[in-house]
C-alpha cells in the first residue's frame, strides 16, 4: 500500500534476495465466491469483478460456484496434456540453449493455463495475438513441436528463415500472430483485426495477451481506447505474473490497484481471474468469447499468476527476488491443481500422470532430434544467406538486388 510521505515514492516489492518471501498482502478469496454475470451485462455494473478474483478450483481440487465451466474429463485431460507438453518443451529448449545450440529461450513455467485454457475456450478461426510467453497457444492448437523448434534453432526448416530471435514464433495457420520484440504493439493490432472482422460481420474474434509490465506502454492505452470506441469483438488479456524482468508489478502501476481496474475506466467489462486455475481461465475466456461473438464488444481480463522461472535464459532472478518465492506463491501451480481436480474425481491417477509425463518427454525428445537434423544455430544445415534480402518488400527492389550482388553471399 502507498504510504503517505513527502519525497519521491518508489515502490518496492515485499521481499528481496535473502529475505523470506512474503505474499501476505495478496487476498485469495474462496473458490466460487464470485457470481457469473450474464454475457450481455453492462460494464458499469461489474465493478467488483475488477477487484475480486474469480476462482473455480478450491484447495481440495473441487469445482465451486457459478463459474464452473462443467467440462468433460476428456477436455480437461487434453488441457492437462497441453500444459504438461508446454512445460516439457520449455525444459528441453532451455537445456539446448545451455548447450549452445541456440542463442536464447524463454520459459512459461507457472503460466501454462493462461495460454492453454484460454485457447481451448476459443474457436480455431479466432486470431491470437500473443506475447513471447504464450507458447501454450501453439501447443493447445496441436501445432507441431518440430516447427516451433525449427524456429528456435533458426535451422534450414525455419519458416521465419532465421530472421527472428528464438520464441518469436508465427503461424497464420494456427491463428498465432507473429511475435514482435517491441512490447505492446500487438495488443493494439489485435483490436484492428477484430474491427476488420466486425466490419465483415463474420463472428470471428481476436484475443490478445500482454504482460503487466507492458501495460505501461502507450499501445496498451491505444488498444483499450479503440476496443471501447468501436466495440471491437476482442478479448484483451493482461498476464500479471508479478514480474517484468527485475521490476515487480508495483513499478508497472499495480501497487495500489489491480490491472483489471484499468479496463473499467474505458467502459470495458473487466474481470480478474486466478491465472493458475485452468477452469477459471477457461470459463472467463468462454464468457468473453460469447460476449464478443454476440456483438457485446470487448472484455478485459487480468490473469493473476506468477512467473515461476527467470525472465529468459539471459536472466538470473535470484539477484532481485527470493529464490524460494515461486514455491510460496499462494495460487499454486496450474498443472498440479488441474491434476488434483482430475484425481479427486477419479478421472486420473498418479500412475497415469507419470506415464503421460514420460510419453511427453519422449515426444519432445523425438521432435528435438528431428529438428536438430535440420540444423541448429551453430551446426548443420542452414538457409542460404542470400535469403536475408528476401521479403523486405513483396518484390526485390533494385537497391536490394544490387546489395545482394555486392554482399558476396550468393553462393
Partner 1 sequence: MTAMSMIEAINSAMDVALGRDPDVMIFGQDVGYFGGVFRATDRLQQRYGKTRVFDAPISEGGIVAAAVGMGAYGKRPVVEIQFADYIYPATDQLISEAARMRYRTGGEWWSPITVRSPYGGGIYGGQTHSQSPEGIFTHVAGLKTVIPSTPYDAKGLLIAAIEDDDPVLFFEPKRLYNGPFDGHHDRPVQSWAGHPDADVPEDHYVVPLGKARIVRAGQDVTILAYGTMAHVALAAAQETGIDAEVIDLRTLIPLDLETIVASVSRTGRCVVVHEATRTSGFGAELAALVQEHCFFALEAPVERVTGWDTPYPHAFEWEYFPGPLRLGEALKRTMRL
Residue 398 interacts with partner 1 (CB under 8 A)? yes
Q: Among 95, 98, 124, 159, which residue interacts with partner 1 (rule: CB under 8 A)?
A: 159
197 vs 273, beta carbon nearer partner 1: 197
Q: Among 77, 117, 197, 356, which residue interacts with partner 1 (rule: CB under 8 A)?
A: 197
Residue 219 interacts with partner 1 (CB under 8 A)? yes
Q: Among 17, 29, 30, 218, which residue interacts with partner 1 (rule: CB under 8 A)?
A: 218
Residue 163 interacts with partner 1 (CB under 8 A)? yes
What is the closest distance, in whole angstroms, from the C-beta atom of residue 207 to partner 1 in the complex?
13
Q: Among 194, 268, 303, 331, which residue interacts with partner 1 (rule: CB under 8 A)?
A: 194
* Nearest CA-CA partner of 185 in 264, 235, 129, 240: 129
What is the closest distance, in whole angstroms, from the C-beta atom of residue 2 to partner 1 in the complex?
29
What number of chain residues touch partner 1 (CB under 8 A)?
Answer: 45
Residue 349 interacts with partner 1 (CB under 8 A)? no
What is the closest distance, in whole angstroms, from the C-beta atom of residue 67 to partner 1 in the complex?
30
What is the closest distance, in whole angstroms, from the C-beta atom of residue 197 to partner 1 in the complex?
6
d(CA 1, CA 21): 17
91 vs 392, beta carbon nearer partner 1: 392
Q: Which three cell numbers stand for residue 78?
A: 487434453
Residue 394 interacts with partner 1 (CB under 8 A)? yes
Task: Please answer whether residues 26 and 330 qualify as being in contact, where contact means their C-beta atoms are separated by less than 8 angstroms.
Answer: yes
Residue 247 interacts with partner 1 (CB under 8 A)? no
Residue 406 interacts with partner 1 (CB under 8 A)? no
d(CA 220, CA 234): 14
Q: Which range in 51-59, 223-231, 288-296, 355-363 contacts partner 1 by CB under 8 A?
A: 223-231
Q: Among 2, 8, 38, 199, which residue interacts with partner 1 (rule: CB under 8 A)?
A: 199
Q: Which three cell numbers stand for residue 394?
A: 513483396
Q: Point out which residues bind partner 1 (CB under 8 A).
A: 127, 129, 158-161, 163-164, 168, 170-172, 177-178, 180-182, 185, 188-197, 199, 206, 218-219, 222-223, 225-226, 229, 390-394, 397-399
Amino acid at each position: 500500500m502507498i504510504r503517505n510521505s513527502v519525497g519521491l515514492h518508489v515502490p518496492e516489492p515485499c521481499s528481496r534476495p535473502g529475505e523470506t518471501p512474503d505474499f501476505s498482502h495478496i487476498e485469495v478469496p474462496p473458490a466460487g465466491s464470485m457470481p457469473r454475470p450474464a454475457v450481455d451485462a453492462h460494464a458499469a455494473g461489474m465493478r467488483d469483478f475488477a477487484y475480486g478474483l474469480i476462482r473455480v478450483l478450491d484447495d481440495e481440487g473441487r469445482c465451486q460456484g457459478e463459474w464452473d465451466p462443467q467440462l468433460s474429463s476428456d477436455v480437461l485431460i487434453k488441457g492437462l496434456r497441453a500444459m504438461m507438453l508446454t512445460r516439457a518443451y520449455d525444459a528441453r529448449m532451455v537445456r539446448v540453449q545451455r548447450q549452445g545450440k541456440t542463442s536464447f529461450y524463454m520459459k512459461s513455467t507457472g503460466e501454462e493455463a493462461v495460454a492453454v485454457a484460454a485457447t481451448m475456450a476459443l474457436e480455431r478461426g479466432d486470431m491470437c495475438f500473443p506475447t513471447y510467453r504464450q507458447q501454450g497457444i501453439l501447443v493447445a492448437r496441436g501445432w507441431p513441436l518440430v516447427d516451433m523448434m525449427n524456429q528456435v534453432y533458426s535451422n534450414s526448416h525455419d519458416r521465419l528463415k532465421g530472421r527472428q530471435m528464438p520464441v518469436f514464433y508465427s503461424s497464420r495457420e494456427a491463428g498465432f500472430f507473429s511475435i514482435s520484440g517491441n512490447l505492446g504493439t500487438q495488443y493494439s493490432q489485435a483490436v484492428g483485426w477484430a474491427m476488420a472482422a466486425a466490419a465483415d460481420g463474420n463472428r470471428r474474434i481476436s484475443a490478445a495477451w500482454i504482460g503487466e509490465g507492458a501495460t505501461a506502454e502507450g499501445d496498451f492505452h491505444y488498444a483499450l481506447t479503440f476496443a471501447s470506441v468501436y466495440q471491437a469483438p476482442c478479448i484483451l488479456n493482461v498476464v500479471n505474473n508479478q514480474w517484468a524482468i527485475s521490476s515487480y508489478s508495483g513499478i508497472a502501476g499495480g501497487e495500489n490497484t489491480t490491472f483489471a481496474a484499468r479496463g473499467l475506466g474505458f467502459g470495458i467489462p473487466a474481470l480478474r481471474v486466478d491465472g493458475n486455475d485452468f477452469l477459471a481461465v477457461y470459463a472467463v475466456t468462454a464468457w468473453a468469447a460469447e460476449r464478443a461473438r454476440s456483438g457485446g464488444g470487448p472484455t478485459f481480463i487480468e490473469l493473476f499468476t506468477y512467473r515461476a522461472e527467470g525472465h529468459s535464459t539471459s536472466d538470473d532472478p535470484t539477484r532481485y527476488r527470493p529464490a524460494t518465492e515461486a514455491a510460496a506463491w499462494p495460487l499454486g501451480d496450474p498443472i498440479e491443481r488441474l491434476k488434483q481436480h482430475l484425481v479427486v474425481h477419479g478421472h486420473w491417477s498418479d500412475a497415469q500422470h507419470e506415464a503421460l509425463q514420460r510419453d511427453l518427454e519422449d515426444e519432445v525428445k523425438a521432435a528435438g532430434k528431428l529438428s536438430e537434423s535440420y540444423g541448429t544455430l551453430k551446426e548443420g544445415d542452414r538457409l542460404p544467406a542470400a535469403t536475408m534480402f528476401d521479403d523486405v518488400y513483396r518484390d526485390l527492389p533494385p537497391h536490394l538486388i544490387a546489395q545482394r550482388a555486392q554482399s558476396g553471399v550468393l553462393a
